[in-house]
Structures are given as C-alpha cells and as structure tokens.
Structure 1
C-alpha cells in the first residue's frame, strides 16, 4: 500500500499528474487515504477539478474508496478532514475550498453539499453511488438579498440600454416616417368618381371652386402674368352640408390625386410626431402634384395659440404654417380645409398667402333641398304621390346629411310595411320622427286628455286658418311624439323666408295663443293645463325679439337692446319698459285669438272630434271638414 502511495507521490512531483489519475481510475491501486489524496492532488494540478463533466470521476473515485473502506468510512470523523491531511495538505486547494467538514461541494452545482454520511451508507449497501437505490443528496444554497438585487439591477439596465438603442436606430433611419407614409389614410386616391353634378344645394360654392379646377388642369395659364392663385381654400359651414363632397368633386373634375386626412390624425402626445406627420403629408403631396390635400376638421390643430398650449400642439401648427408658406405657384398643390368653427382658427392660418379664400357652404334652401332629395331617390323607388317640393318646404334648416337620413328612414319604414316603393306617408313619418321624435305608442293617455289635446291643437289650427299673415296649415296631429302630446305643422306658401314682416310675426303670436284660448273656452279657466308652456315660451321669446331687436315697439322705439346683458348696460327703467311692451303684445295676441275661436266655435268642436277619431289630419282634410261644417273654410279679413 505504502509503495503505491509513494509511487503516486513521485509521479506528482515529476509533473505526471495524468498518469496518477489513470493509475487510480484503473483500480490497480489500493484506495487508501494517502492514495486518494494524491489522486485529488493530481486532479487539482490538471485543473480538472472544476469541470462538471469530470466530477463524476471524483464520485467514482470516492465510491471506490468507500466500497473498500466499508463501515469504517461511516465511522470516520470526517472524510474531508482526512483528505485535507493527506500529503501534509497537498490537496489543500481542493480540501480547503471544496471539501467541507459536513461534506464537500462540487463546482458548477450551485453550492450543493454532498454529505459523507450518504457516501458511507452507499458503501455499506455495496451499491453504486448515484443509482436509484443510493441517490446523491444535494442542498441548494439560497442566494442572498444583495445578490438578487444586483441581478435585478443588471437586467433592468440591460433592458433600458436595448430600448434606447432601438429607439435611436428608428429615429436615425426614419422608420417612423415610413410607417406614417404607409398609412392608407395618407395615400393619394388617384381616382374619384365624384363630380360637381353630384353636389346639390350649394351652387354658389361650386361656382367659386370651378376656378380651382381650371387652375389644376392648367396652372401655367393662371401664372403666365405673374399672378398667384390661393394656396389654401377654407370651406366653412354647418355639419353635413357637403364640404368633403365638394373637395372630392374638385379632384374628380380636375382628374388629380386626392389626399384626405383629418386634423385629429396629427395629434400626438410626443413632441415632434405631429409635425413630422405634417411634413410627410406635404412631401407626398409634392411628389404627386398637381393634387389636392383635404384636411377635415382643421380646427383640431389650427386653433388659436396661447401660452398655455402644450409644446406638441404648437409644433404641429407651426409646421403646418411653414408647409403652407413653402409652396411655389408652379407646384400645383391646392390645400382645402373644412371647419365648423372658423372663428376658432389661428389668425396666422387664415391670413393672405395661406387659407386666404373662404368658401361658405350653408344649409341648402328649399330648391336645394328638393334637388338633394332627387339625388337620393335615384336608387330608391318612389311612389307617384310623392311631392318632394312639399317635403323640401317642411324641412327648413335641414342639411344634406339630414335629408339623406330622412330618405333612409322613409325607405326603412316602407320596407318594414311591405311597400314596393316609398310613398308620401313614409316621408311624412320620417320627417315627424326626425323633428319631433318617435311615436309614443306605449303612452297611456286618458280619453279626457286626448280630448283636451284635440281642442288645444284644433285651436292652433283654426287661428292659423283664419288669421291673415299666418302660414297655411300643413298637418295637425294628436299622436304623442317625443315630449309633445300633439302638434300643428305650418308650411310657408313660397320658398324659405329671408325676412318676416310685422304682420307675419303678429300672426305667429296669435297662433301660439290659440291652444291656451281653446282650452279656456271649452273647459273653463280652472281646467286649463300646462300643455301651453312651450307655446307661451315661444310667444314670449318672439315678442321680446320684436321689441328689443326688430324695433317693432312704438314706446321703446327703433333701437336694438341687449336684453341678455343681465342689467350691466340696461337700466331698470328700460327693462321695465321692455317687459310692459312684451306683455302688451302677448295680451293683444291673446285677445285676437279669443275673438277668432269664439266666432268659429262650431268649427272648433268639429275639428277636435275629427282629431280624436283620426288622430292626424292634413291641411286639405281640415279645410274640407270646415267647408262641410259651414260651407266656408277660407280666411277672415286681415287682423288689425
């Protein structure tokens, strides 16, 4: 045994460490403590002790040693201590750091400890170490708090550096710019089928824009004498009047690309992104010139600037101003913008040289509404009884979008009822639903209230029929709609009113009072209801306007008074005088309505009963009923 150990010691001293390892693992030497110590020393010298793949060799060596020592190994005080004592600490590098008193730790195994008791038990059983019957037991050492904190800081730092580097690369190469240009909304529409003939009800606006079409077709014709056409055109008007359709019609007539975008698409919380989008849009427009750039709702980015605005909003508007100034007359790029609030735009945006041409696109007049209805009925079957002129008269203030909605609601109503075409009744239903709301079919109304509503609406209708200056009655109904229990509709005899005479205003006051007067005459003063609240409000507002705005009061005179100024510039005497005049006008209207209804009380009873029975009567049906009652249905002499 001693000779074997001495031989190994000499080999180690001679530097033949691989020979020592080979001799020990060939099982030709006795596995004494001294021999095993030389084996471990050879492993340490050859730097094989730290390799995980070669740790199994150490296990086999330990197993061979334990197999020969048997129970003596288990009774030994410490395997690591004996290994450290071999050769006077020759294997101390391993014993001091890897072999501990309670076991030994193998590098690369996370600080796991191999217990010598387990090795002893393996030797006693005579089975291989690491087998299913004799597994190797390891304990994982938990990392400390500081090591975990350091690992987290390193990971966060690495993630931050990666994100910063990626952002810098995107900014440097302009990847964000290309992604914006790939937006379908910013690509030009090379073809558009919309023409000026498709736009109805805005003839004046079309005539102003025809010059833009001629310029896009031949820019040099306009610039040959040094003149410059406007670079920007601002379309101003209420919602739904066809501003976008007008812009498309310009592009369609000129046959040029059409860029469409909205002011809100330039909004971005990051500083500089909105300005970049503006640059990208105008750069693409210049490449496709001649073309049209249409910016809808430009007030989203073009509002008046103030020092409290965010920086990104200022930069976007500033970039828009710069791009508008950067155009040359020969570029052939026309910028068209639309807004509903021109007063909110920044002064620098609407100055000459930018959006210096303003085209007003108002709601259509009665003839324009008729033309718009004709366009919408091109693809919808229309019944023979449909009179679009009547519908146009009954829809004052309707925009093109409102009329499209009216035709659509009528078509849905006709289809739901099984009709093969849209009739006049369907259009009247659609108009009443849009103006007053849907029918309240589920409303539970007593017979007394229905009768009172019939007399109320009958009073309005009779006063309108027998008062000079009042519009003809178009329809009377007691069907509840919205907040109203009934309604009388009047239509002007001619087209839309541009100015109203004093006689017509007094007639409107009389008609407003007709409902309350009818209730008092039939049911008495104690049984009048709150149904006339809206009538009184409308009459009071009209009478006050006659006194303070229209100069139709002899006592107040020909003066315009800001009555809504809450007394800051209106004396108490003047306010009292206005109130007296308003009350005088309303009292006179009440007296005239009372005289008319007392004179035609017989017709009032007949009309109210007919409304109770049929719920809805047209103007022609009402006049026919009055003719049957007393042989006359015309108007009385003009009211004084």
Structure 2
C-alpha cells in the first residue's frame, strides 16, 4: 500500500508472462535503450503487456485492486471521526474531522501516498516510456546493483533491513499509544520494557506450560539420523572406488558442475539436481557417496535409512522440512551442498502395494499353462545350503519332508537362466513398497521440498508483500545436489525419479573382469600376500558376480585363515579356502550312509559330465557332495566371459545339464530315481516353458505372450494343451540327447563318482583332469583311465544297486586307486570342511589335499592325495 516494489517495480495483478513477442529477441528479452546487455540479463524483468502500438506497458489493474486500499484508509478515518462524535454529544462532524486531521494525520498521509501510487500506475498503463523509465532505469538499476553482491550478503542485508523496519514500526506504535513523540518514545522504551518484565514472564511461562511441552517433544523427535560432514572430515577419495570407473566418472561430472556452476549456467543450462545410484548390494554405492564427500569442497549431509521413521505421524514431515531448511542455509553459506539418502527404498511409495520386480519374469503363456496343470507358476527349486552367497540363496525356502531337493538345482544354470526362473516367483509375491514412508506424508513432503526449491521463502516475502499487492521476491539459487542409493529401484515412487528431482540414474552393477581384478589388487595391496598376477586374474574369472564388498570380505577371510595357520602372508590356498567359505557356505557336519553317498555322488557326476562335454563359455568351479543346509550336493559353474545374451542352443544345453540327474539315476539304477531330481526337473521345465512362450524355442515362431495379451483377459485359452505338449516334446528331445551323452561317458561318470565319494569336494580343474586323464591339482586323473578301473568301479556300483534293491545293506569297501598328484597339502585346494573347528589349527599334514575330510578309519575310504 503506497509503496512500490523495489525489487522489480511490479505489483499484484500483473501479467505473469514476460515481455511480449515484439519486446523479445531470439535469445531472450531485449534490453531497453541505455541499459547494458550484461546487466539486464541477470536482473528480473517486469511483467509487461503490449499496447496497440506494440510498446510495453503495464497491464491495467481491475477496479477493485485500484480502490481497495483507498476504501480501507477512508473507512479507518471515518471510523475514528465517528468515534469522537459519538463520545461527545456537543462535537460536530466538522470539528471531529479537524481534530482527527491533526491527531491522525498519518492516515491522511497514507491516503495521499496511495492516491499518488494509483496515479503512477495509471500513467504506466498508458505511457510506455514512463513505464520503462521506472522499471528499468530506477528500480532496475537499483536491483542490478544489489545483484553484484553474493547471495549470502544479500540475505544478511535483507534480514537486517527487516529488523530495522520492524523495530521502527514497533517504536511508532508505542509512541502513539503513549501519546508522545517518536524520539521521546525511544528514550522511554527501555524503562517500559523493564517495567513489563513481570507480565512478559507470566505470558512466557503460560506458553511454556501449555505449548512448550509439545514443541520440545516434537523437536526432539525430529532430530537425529542426519549427519553433516565437511571435506576434511572424510578421507575416502574417488581413487578408493575400484571397479566402477564408468559410474565414478559420471558422478565426478555432477560434482564438477556443483563446484563450478557457471560453466553450465552461463550457457543457459542448469546444474543437475539429483543422482540415483542403484544396483545389487555391495557394489559400492555408499562408497561412491563417501568419495564424493571426501572430494568435494562442499558440505556433505548423510541421511540414515531410518531417519524419517518415527512413532508419531507427522514427525517424518517435520524431519524433512528441518533437513531442507538446513540444506538451504548450507547452500547459501558455502555455495552448494550435497545430501545423500542411503537405502532410499525405505522412503516407500505412495502406492499401497508394489510388485517385487516389475516387468519381466516368465511369459504369460508359461504361467497360464502352469495354472492349468494345478501348479503355481512360481514353483522353482530350493537352493538350500549355499546361502552364503546372495546370488545362490534360496528365495523360495526349503521343501519339507521327503520332497526336498537332493542338490542345488539352480547351481548348474547360468545367471541369466537362474534369473528367468527366480524372477517370476519374486514378482508374484506382494511386497509392501519400502518402509511405508508414503503413508504418513513423509514422501509427499520430500517430493514437495525437492521440487519446491524455487518458491518464495519467508513470511514477510510470501504473505506481507502479496498483501501489499507486491510480487514476492524469488529465492536465491539453492545449489543442492541430492544423491540416493538403493538396491530396489522398483520400490521408489515414480514422481521421485522424474527429471527435476532425480536427473541422473546410474546403475552400479557387478564389476567387469577388469574391475574385479582392480578390486582384488586394491584390497590385496593392504595385506601381505604372495599371489601372482595370473592367480589374481584367475580369481576374477572365478568370481563373475562378486561385488566390492564380497571381494573385500573374501580377502579378509583369507587373512583370517592365514592367521589361524600362524602365518603373516596370504597364499593362493588361503584365497581358495576363503572363496569356498564365502561363495558356498560352510558344510554341515554330516556323513551320508554308504549307499546314499554313492547315489548323491553319481547324481552330481552326471551333472558334471554333461556340463563338461556340452557347455561353452562356462566352466565347472566346484563339485561337492557335502551337505549344506537342505542341499545334498551341487556342481557350481562360473562364466569365463561377461555376456549379455544367451542363445537357444545354450539354453538347451543348460536344460540338458538339469536333466542329467534324472537320466543318470535311471540309467545306473535300473530305471529308478530319487525325489532329489525334482528341483532339476522344475528348472528344466520352467526354462523350456518360458523360452517356448517368448523366445521361439519351440516349433512355432509366435510369441505366446503377445497372443495372450490380445485375449483381453479372456481366461479360456484353447492353446493350453498344445503348449503343454510342446513343452513335453522339447523336454523329451533334450532328455534323449542327455541319455546319449551319458551313455558315451559311463567311465567318466563312475570316475567322478569315485572321486566325489573319496574327497567329498573337488575343484573344476580336478574334474577336467579326471575327464582328460591327466594330473590335476588334487586328483590324479590318470588312475581313472587305467584298464582295471572300469571293472572295479562297475563291481562297486553293482553292490550299490543291490543295496538299493534291499538285497544287501552294507557296501563293500570303497576301491583304492593309489596316490594323487599333489605332492603336499599346500598345493591342493581346500574345501570349507577341511578348516579346523577351533584354534590353533591342525597341522597341514592331517588335512585332505582336496579339502575334504580325511579318510575315517573303519569306513574303507582313502583319499587319492598324499
């Protein structure tokens, strides 16, 4: 009222658009005559409208906006005049007008100023040159001078000016109430304040008792979970992040623009405001954030995953607002700030339920056919024992009773094939999105703060200025870089990930082979070791899905094994032992009975033979019959190369590897088989059904998934029976091919069976040595190619078959084939079962060279090693 907006010279009711088309050039507003391009480019431009001649003028105000303050001031003056007349019957209206004109002259002054103000705007609405003069020459020039100061100094000057104006207004009101001049009031104020202290204390005490308890309680509840670090507080650097160079380079790019925003803002761009780091656990997302904190010259705010969890609804909202208030202050003071939300999926989603994996999974055709068979489409083999490694953990749980899996049914498959099988089961389970942050308003508050950084701030700026008909001043540029990390990106709200909130999304996936080599080298450099570059390269090949966290843990476990043995230096043997423990878990202290031991060993030998003979690009890593949880044994494979896609022929081979257990048991046990093949059959059936329905693995080219989408939800599908027949035909075809492979490798199957019964656990190199008839690191494969081996092995197997039929109960003694190639236990890989249970460790000489248990007297077992 009566005061021009000294920030932009505009009042409420202006056209929200900027200059019209005639007043703008191709690159933005054209500066007025007499003004420089550089100065007008940074100063806010007044809202204008073009008249009939195309010249910029002020947009006409509505009648009510033009007279509302005049009416208000006139009403105030008439009110005080009427009060005098009503209080003194002898006073006339003319006398009351004269008296109040002297006593309330300030009202008339404000009324006159408002009249001048409206005349000023009326002229600006009709005279373009007058309008441009005031907006660009007078107020625009003052604004450009203020813009020469940095944001922090302008903020402090603005705050000081507000205090001065507020105190002056309070002093004026006190002078009017005390019927004295402003200067006398300035002298009387200290005494008046001193006299009012008892009354003020009473008011304050009452407020503390009534409101203070809630304020204090919620203030304490809204604190915690947020830590602020400065560059000198963290020593982690980008050079400490190994195996994720492509992500680090992009994050460095964002940090560079935060440090030097003018590099992109001077070219018309903006500093990216958000980064999402997503990927499997342990791949280095939090480590990258720590490196950002160590590298940047800006404050780093770390938000704990549970920072917004609270007992009372609404506390999370207070925490969000408190956090961003702190971020804005740090941004103004230091020119920028970085905030990192760890485990961002705990923020939740505004949806009530969120699917576990979203897109993908088994094709609709396969699901429909499984439903017609009365079985859940999510059925998949239990993974059981090797739960130490997350990628081999059992997402379905162990089966109860006699239907439990004999072996790890998915360990024979590639990572892509395992993903096809397990994805559907995880997808069909209902998963509540994140920590439910979307239900108490926390997520909504976060979304508002992330997208509302440019809205006007402050009560005086937002409320008072708008009440006076003045546009609120825009806030300064808050350069806040938001970083989030999660291994469940599908649980994040879509609004959180839109550009403007999260501009960049980087997958921090499993490191490549070169990345794994660099990570092994980095962690091994911190300890004493004697590994060669060739051995480190081999470790990287053997660990295709290892993350930085698992590699760090493996090196630490190897150091633990070395210390147990009383050594200071990590050896190759220590690394192999540590890898077995971390990758596959510790074996149970369980001994199979003789005939079950033989059947399990033969089961795994059939898997190993078909895999060795048929697979390309994947090698056997480990074969074992030691029980781990609900798994009686397994053959583990690793990929020797990082690939993205699988071929139809490779899928068929993996199905054959799964079917090898059934074909082998029936071949060697007169058509009988154990229930342990159930997991392998589920894997094979799901793979075939999925790829027939979506990848042209069967006789037809059509994608069954697309065909079912055209049914518009029709539950009656006539193609279910032909589809099931296609699955059965393909399984039968691959089963017969598997039988042929096993029939041509009977000696090798019996040889591997004998080695597994003897050593319990052997390496992939030992499997290769047995198959090729040469010396391995533990097993001398030449012994299995001697003329008398086959007859000895067949007789032993015949005893096992008779025991299976119930004709005998005990097997004869396991055949002894001589000494192995390893000259000392230190040269042979060791399985987890060979590790001593307590310290100090047993002397190396008593360990089985393969890492299996030493032969137990009375059981007729003797290892092939020394």
Measured in 2, the distance between the counterparts of 1:499 and 1:222 equals 39
Please name the residue that 2:507 is paired with: 360
Which range moves more in the overlay, 606-615 or 283-292?
A: 283-292
How far is the alpha carbon of 1:259 from its aligned partner? 0.7
Measured in 2, the distance between the counterparts of 1:591 and 1:571 equals 34
Measured in 1, the distance between the counterparts of 2:656 and 2:439 equals 55
Measured in 2, the distance between the counterparts of 1:548 and 1:186 equals 51
Q: Classify the secondary structure of the residue corresponding to 1:445.
A: coil
> Of 222, 238, 248, which aligns to 2:264?
222
How far is the alpha carbon of 1:285 from its aligned partner? 2.7
Structure having the higher Rg: 1
Please name the residue that 1:389 is paired with: 537
> Of 592, 603, 610, which aligns to 1:463?
610
Contact 1:269 1:312 in 2 (8 A): no
How far is the alpha carbon of 1:324 from its aligned partner? 4.0
Measured in 2, the distance between the counterparts of 1:603 and 1:265 equals 59
How far is the alpha carbon of 1:319 from its aligned partner? 5.1
Please name the residue that 1:143 is paired with: none
In structure 2, the CA distance between the partners of 1:429 and 1:195, relative to structure 1 (3 Å rule), is same
Q: Classify the secondary structure of the residue corresponding to 1:407.
A: helix
> Of 664, 680, 689, which aligns to 1:535?
680
Q: Classify the secondary structure of the residue corresponding to 1:545.
A: helix
Measured in 2, the distance between the counterparts of 1:314 and 1:624 equals 59
Please name the residue that 1:291 is paired with: 337
> Of 691, 699, 706, which aligns to 1:546?
691
Residue by residue over 1:287-327, the C-alpha shift from the partner in whole angstroms, topping out at 9 and shown as x without a partner, is 33322111223343462268x96555366336534654459
* Residue 407 (1) aligns with residue 555 (2): yes
* Residue 517 (1) aligns with residue 559 (2): no
Higher relative contact order (CA 8 A, sep 6+): 2
* Residue 254 (1) aligns with residue 401 (2): no
> Of 186, 203, 209, which aligns to 2:251?
209
Contact 1:459 1:514 in 2 (8 A): yes
Measured in 2, the distance between the counterparts of 1:488 and 1:315 equals 49
* Residue 586 (1) aligns with residue 715 (2): no
Trace 1:52-91 onto structure 2 (pairs within 5 A). Answer: none
Residue by residue over 1:571-617, the C-alpha shift from the partner in whole angstroms, topping out at 9 and shown as x without a partner, is 54322222222222222222122112222212222221122122222
Please name the residue that 2:433 is paired with: none
**Any stretches of 5+ residues in structure 1 without a counterpart?**
1-160, 633-640
Measured in 2, the distance between the counterparts of 1:608 and 1:178 equals 66
Measured in 1, the distance between the counterparts of 2:274 and 2:612 equals 52
Q: Classify the secondary structure of the residue corresponding to 2:229.
A: coil
Q: Classify the secondary structure of the residue corresponding to 1:531.
A: helix
In structure 2, the CA distance between the partners of 1:240 and 1:567, relative to structure 1 (3 Å rule), is farther
Measured in 2, the distance between the counterparts of 1:284 and 1:249 equals 22
> Of 607, 612, 619, which aligns to 2:757?
612
Contact 1:469 1:503 in 2 (8 A): no
Please name the residue that 1:636 is paired with: none
Q: Classify the secondary structure of the residue corresponding to 2:321.
A: helix
Contact 1:411 1:422 in 2 (8 A): yes
In structure 2, the CA distance between the partners of 1:178 and 1:332, relative to structure 1 (3 Å rule), is farther
Contact 1:240 1:402 in 2 (8 A): yes
> Of 488, 492, 506, which aligns to 2:639?
492
Please name the residue that 1:474 is paired with: 621
Contact 2:454 2:477 in 1 (8 A): no
How far is the alpha carbon of 1:368 from its aligned partner? 2.5
Contact 2:349 2:443 in 1 (8 A): no
* Residue 186 (1) aligns with residue 227 (2): yes
How far is the alpha carbon of 1:342 from its aligned partner? 3.3
In structure 2, the CA distance between the partners of 1:484 and 1:349, relative to structure 1 (3 Å rule), is closer
Trace 1:593-632 onto structure 2 (pairs within 5 A). Answer: 593-626=738-771, 627=773, 628=782, 629-630=784-785
Measured in 1, the distance between the counterparts of 2:547 and 2:709 equals 29
In structure 2, the CA distance between the partners of 1:164 and 1:519, relative to structure 1 (3 Å rule), is farther
Q: Classify the secondary structure of the residue corresponding to 2:645.
A: coil
Residue by residue over 1:435-484, the C-alpha shift from the partner in whole angstroms, topping out at 9 and shown as x without a partner, is 4432012x131111111122111111211222264733233222222222
Measured in 1, the distance between the counterparts of 2:538 and 2:714 equals 45
How far is the alpha carbon of 1:498 from its aligned partner? 0.9
Q: Give the alignment's TM-score, normalised by structure 2.
A: 0.49
How far is the alpha carbon of 1:534 from its aligned partner? 1.8
Contact 1:301 1:317 in 2 (8 A): no
Q: Classify the secondary structure of the residue corresponding to 2:568.
A: coil
Contact 2:225 2:303 in 1 (8 A): no
Measured in 2, the distance between the counterparts of 1:264 and 1:516 equals 49
**Any stretches of 5+ residues in structure 2 without a counterpart?**
1-203, 353-435, 457-474, 774-781, 788-866
* Residue 446 (1) aligns with residue 593 (2): yes
How far is the alpha carbon of 1:189 from its aligned partner? 3.5
How far is the alpha carbon of 1:265 from its aligned partner? 1.2
Alignment RMSD: 3.6
Count of residue pairs the alignment pairs up:
467
Measured in 2, the distance between the counterparts of 1:536 and 1:312 equals 48
Contact 1:547 1:553 in 2 (8 A): yes
How far is the alpha carbon of 1:170 from its aligned partner? 6.2
Q: Classify the secondary structure of the residue corresponding to 2:725.
A: helix
In structure 2, the CA distance between the partners of 1:286 and 1:321, relative to structure 1 (3 Å rule), is closer
Measured in 2, the distance between the counterparts of 1:314 and 1:622 equals 55
In structure 2, the CA distance between the partners of 1:312 and 1:381, relative to structure 1 (3 Å rule), is same
Q: Classify the secondary structure of the residue corresponding to 2:743.
A: helix
Measured in 1, the distance between the counterparts of 2:516 and 2:686 equals 28
Please name the residue that 1:320 is paired with: 449
Which range moves more in the overlay, 202-211 or 394-403?
A: 394-403
Q: Classify the secondary structure of the residue corresponding to 1:475.
A: strand
In structure 2, the CA distance between the partners of 1:317 and 1:382, relative to structure 1 (3 Å rule), is same
Which range moves more in the overlay, 204-213 or 313-322?
A: 313-322
> Of 274, 277, 286, which aligns to 1:232?
274
Q: Classify the secondary structure of the residue corresponding to 1:438.
A: coil
> Of 350, 367, 372, which aligns to 2:519?
372
How far is the alpha carbon of 1:228 from its aligned partner? 0.8
In structure 2, the CA distance between the partners of 1:215 and 1:346, relative to structure 1 (3 Å rule), is same
How far is the alpha carbon of 1:381 from its aligned partner? 3.0
How far is the alpha carbon of 1:552 from its aligned partner? 1.4
Please name the residue that 1:507 is paired with: 653
